[in-house]
Amino acid sequence: MNVAAPYLITLGRVMLSLIFIQSGIMKIFDYAGTQTHMVEHGLPGVLLPLVILVEAGGGLCVLAGFFTRWAALALAGFCVLAAIFFHADFADQMQMINFAKNITIAGGFLVLAGSGPGAWALDNRLR
């Protein structure tokens, strides 16, 4: 398993990044709708550029293995905050599932932050 670990970490890193890249880009194309959704949940719409930066930028950093540990920490925090602000309605089973999903993804990012980027990563070239 030790031989495979760097490659498994790389595969996990890539898989974790995809949803955040896609979601960040989708927010750009539905900027007004996303801003409205944020305001409906008590968040200032002015934070949307930061949200897009964290999701798309952080996702791209994780994908490329560039500042992987920092990007993973940022995305872990993002997942926890998204769970609290958007999915904390535990009376709704779907929201409870989404809450658990976000917390679980945050855990994956914490593991990535602790383990490093794996085999194929820009971080390895920068060392």
Give the pLDDT confidence of 55-108 residue by residue, as tens digits: 999 999 999 999 999 999 999 999 999 999 999 999 999 999 999 999 999 999
Yes or no: say if 114 and 11 are a contact pair by the CB < 8 Å rule: no
Using a pLDDT cut of 90, give the percent of the chain over it.
Answer: 97
pLDDT at 1: 85
Task: Work out the mean pLDDT of the chain and round it to a whole number.
Answer: 97
Q: Is the pLDDT of residue 120 over 90?
A: yes
Domain residue spans of the chain: 5-124
**Average pLDDT in the 5-34 region?**
97
Concatenated DSSP letters of 30-52: THHHHHHHHHHTT--GGGHHHHH
